[in-house]
Structure 1
Amino acid sequence: MTEITVKIKIGGEFKEFGYDGDLNISVTTLLEKLGGIEYSCSCLQGLCGSCAMVINSQPKLACQTFLSDEIMSHEYELITIEPLSKFPVINDLKVDKSKLYDDLMECEQWLESDSKINCDDIDFEYEMSLCLMCGCCVEACPNYDGNDFVGTPIAVSASKLISQETDSNHLKTLKKKYNEKFYPHCVKSIACEDVCPMKIQTQRAISKMNKKAVWKIWQLLDRD
C-alpha cells in the first residue's frame, strides 16, 4: 500500500487528508472512506453523470476515476479533488447543474412532430444520445462562463434533433437558437471532446450544426 495525500477543495479552500489504503478504488469510494464530504452520485457506473468533479485539474466522473491510474499518470502521491467551477456550489463537491437543463428548455431541444428516421444517421444519432449532461465538457471549455454561451450539450442535442424534426417552424427555431446561443461563442478548442466520459465526437455535432444552421446561403433568404 502507498500512502497518498488527498487535497479536497471545500468552502473555497483545500483541506488535506491522508490515505494509506487500497489504491485500486474509485474516487467515489475514496470519498466514502474519508467520510463527511458531500457530493452527487447515483448509478456509480458511469451512466448518470452525477459525480462529475475536477480531479487533478481535469473534469472527470469520480466513479470512473481510479486512484491507481491518477497516481501512475502524475508520478507522485497526491490527488486533488475540486467541485466543477462553472456551476454554483451547493456544498463541498456538490454543485447545481440546473442551468444545463434550463438551456435545453431555452433552446427548445425537443421535437414538435413525429420523428423522421434516416437509416444513414442512426449511428450518429445514437452516439449523440449518449450525452450524460455531466458538465465535463463545459468545465473544460475556455469560453463557457454560464452566461450567453450554452455550451456543447446544446450542439450535441440539436445535431440529433435537426435530422429528426419535420415541423418546419420548429426546425427554424432550432437553427436560430443555435446561431444565437452557440455558434458565435465556440472557438473550437476541442477541449469538450477530449474530456467527454462517453467519448462523444462533439466536433462532428458542431460541424453538422454549422453546416445545417450557418453555412447555407438560403438561410439568409429566410428559407428552410
Structure 2
Amino acid sequence: MKVKIKIGDDYQIFDYDGDLNISVITLLEKLDNPLEFSCSCLQGVCGACAMVINSEPKLACKTFLNEENMVAEYNQITIEPLSKFPLIKDLKVDRSVLFDAMKDCELWLESDSEYNPKDLDFEYEMSLCLMCGCCTEVCPNYKLGDFVGAQVAVAASKLVNQESDKEHLKSMKNNYKKRFFSHCVKSTSCEDVCPMEIPTQRAISKMNRKSVWRIWQLLNLD
C-alpha cells in the first residue's frame, strides 16, 4: 500500500505492507520517516488529530485503514493537514484561532447558570463539540479572521439558554449576528463531517431564532 502525505507544498510517498486493522495515527507512528502531527487521547474525544484523509476531514485516531473504500480502489491513502489553519510542520496545524473566536464572541457565563430540564438533551449534544476544526475545513465561507465557524454557533446555542445576565446575553447575540449569521450560507457541510455527529443545523436554527428573526421575539416564542 502507498501512503501519500502532503509535507509543505509537496507530497511524499511511503510504502506500507503491514496490518490494515490499525488507525491512521498508528500508521503514521509506524512509518520510517518521523513526521510532526498532533494527537493526545487516541480515543476520539480530544479532536487534536484532525486531518484531511482521502479528501475528507476526519479524526486520524478513529479512521482505520480497513474501513470500506479507504485504500481499496488505488491501494493508496492520502493524508494532508487541515488547510484552513496556519501550518506548523508536516501534518501539525495551529488551531488556536478557534479558541480565540470563542473569546472574541464572549462565549462564557457572566452569571449563575439557569437550568431548564427540557433543554438538557440539546445542551448535552452541543457540549460534545471537540473544537477539532473538521467543520471549518469543509465550510465554503470560512476564512481566518472573518467567519468564526460552526463551533461558535454550537457553543452559543447552549449558553443562551443558561445565561441570566441580560447585558452579556445581548452581547453574545450581537457577536453571533456579526461573526456568524452574516456569513453562513447554510451549506450543511459542517454537520455532514462532524465526528461527534452534532446537529449543527439545529444549533444554527436556534441561534437565528433567538438572535436574528425578530418576529419570534415579538411573539415571545422559544
Same fold (TM over 0.5): yes
Alignment of 1:99-110 (within 5 A): 99-110=97-108
Deviation at 1:145, TM superposition (A): 1.4
Gaps of 5+ in 1: none
Aligned to 2:198: 200
Aligned to 1:76: 74
Aligned to 2:181: 183
| Other structure's SS at 2:174 match | helix
CA–CA distance in 1 between the matches of 2:115 and 2:210? 17
Percent sequence identity is 68
CA–CA distance in 2 between the matches of 1:71 and 1:23? 12
Change (3 A) 1:74 1:213: farther
Change (3 A) 1:73 1:211: farther
Aligned to 1:17: 14
Moved over 6 A (4+): none
Deviation at 1:171, TM superposition (A): 0.6
**In 1, are the aligned partners of 2:50 and 2:134 still within 8 Å (CA)?**
yes
Question: What RMSD, in angstroms, separates the aligned Cα atoms of the two structures?
Answer: 1.4
CA–CA distance in 2 between the matches of 1:156 and 1:218? 20
| Other structure's SS at 1:206 match | helix
Deviation at 1:12, TM superposition (A): 1.5
Paired amino acid for 1:204: R
Per-residue Cα deviation, 1:79-104 (whole angstroms, up to 9, x for no partner): 00000000000000000000001000
CA–CA distance in 2 between the matches of 1:73 and 1:79? 6
Deviation at 1:148, TM superposition (A): 1.2
CA–CA distance in 2 between the matches of 1:201 and 1:100? 19
| Other structure's SS at 1:59 match | strand
Aligned to 1:144: 142
Aligned to 2:170: 172
Aligned length: 217
Aligned to 1:29: 26
**In 2, are the aligned partners of 1:71 and 1:77 still within 8 Å (CA)?**
no
Deviation at 1:147, TM superposition (A): 2.5
Aligned to 2:125: 127
TM-score normalized by structure 2?
A: 0.95
Aligned to 2:92: 94
CA–CA distance in 2 between the matches of 1:51 and 1:73? 20
Change (3 A) 1:168 1:12: same
CA–CA distance in 1 between the matches of 2:216 and 2:17? 64
Deviation at 1:160, TM superposition (A): 0.1
Change (3 A) 1:56 1:189: same
CA–CA distance in 1 between the matches of 2:120 and 2:79? 38
Change (3 A) 1:83 1:144: same
Paired amino acid for 1:195: V
CA–CA distance in 2 between the matches of 1:70 and 1:158? 36
- Does 1:155 find its partner at 2:153? yes
Change (3 A) 1:12 1:70: farther
CA–CA distance in 2 between the matches of 1:71 and 1:31? 19
Gaps of 5+ in 2: none
CA–CA distance in 2 between the matches of 1:219 and 1:68? 51
| Other structure's SS at 1:50 match | coil
**In 2, are the aligned partners of 1:7 and 1:16 still within 8 Å (CA)?**
yes
Deviation at 1:191, TM superposition (A): 0.5
